[in-house]
Amino acid sequence: MQPEIDETDRRILAALQRRGRMTNAELAEAVHLSSSACHRRVQRLEKAGVIRDYVALVDPRKLGLATTVFVEIKLSGQTDEVLDAFEKAVARVPAVLECHLLGGTADYLLKVVAEDTEDFAGIHRQYLARLPGVQQMQSSFALRTVFKTTALPT
């Protein structure tokens, strides 16, 4: 059952998505609540799974991972066995940040990070080309990130 999300909850979620390390007192002040009321609301949102986790967003360039590649995958079939085998295997590829099952011409879209094109070639050879059920792959290299956010609209 989805929890009732009111405007105050939306303000809390927006504030936490902008700055997840703020203290409860800072959050309460930002959303115009008492500390105790704010704390209760955050706990309710966490318990309901609306707030899944708290993470640190790391700059990939600072780790030498300046290249982002989007890989479209077409599989040899659409049976549960083929899809399950692919999904289990792709989840173990360290450079894959995201994997999305698609409707359309491709079956999956992967977001992969690499140091450069040479590093991606190694990831392709060592991991992607060995994924089960893959019939065809098409890679597109991001030239520049124009906009990126992890914040959902509230």
Residues 111 and 41 in one domain: no
- The length of the chain, given as a count of residues: 154
Looking at residue 123, what is its pLDDT?
Answer: 98
Domain-embedded: residue 147: no
* Domain of residue 72, CATH code: 3.30.70.920
What's the domain range around 70?
Answer: 60-141
Say how far apart CA 111 and CA 99 lie, in whole Å: 7
Q: Residues near 9 by Cβ (< 8 Å), separated by ≥ 6?
A: 41, 45, 50
Residues 84 and 26 in one domain: no
Domain-embedded: residue 1: no
Domain-embedded: residue 98: yes
Looking at residue 2, what is its pLDDT?
Answer: 78
Residues 20 and 74 in one domain: no
Looking at residue 60, what is its pLDDT?
Answer: 95
Residues 65 and 43 in one domain: no
Say how far apart CA 29 and CA 97 lie, in whole Å: 35
Residues 40 and 110 in one domain: no
Residues 117 and 83 in one domain: yes
Residues 76 and 132 in one domain: yes
Number of structural domains (the chain) is 2
Residues 96 and 42 in one domain: no
Residues 33 and 64 in one domain: no
Domain-embedded: residue 148: no
Q: Residues near 27 by Cβ (< 8 Å), separated by ≥ 6?
A: 12, 15, 16, 38, 42
Residues 18 and 77 in one domain: no
Mean pLDDT for back-to-back runs of 10 residues, the chain (154 residues): 89 95 96 97 96 94 97 96 98 98 96 98 98 98 95 93
Residues 38 and 65 in one domain: no
Residues 69 and 91 in one domain: yes
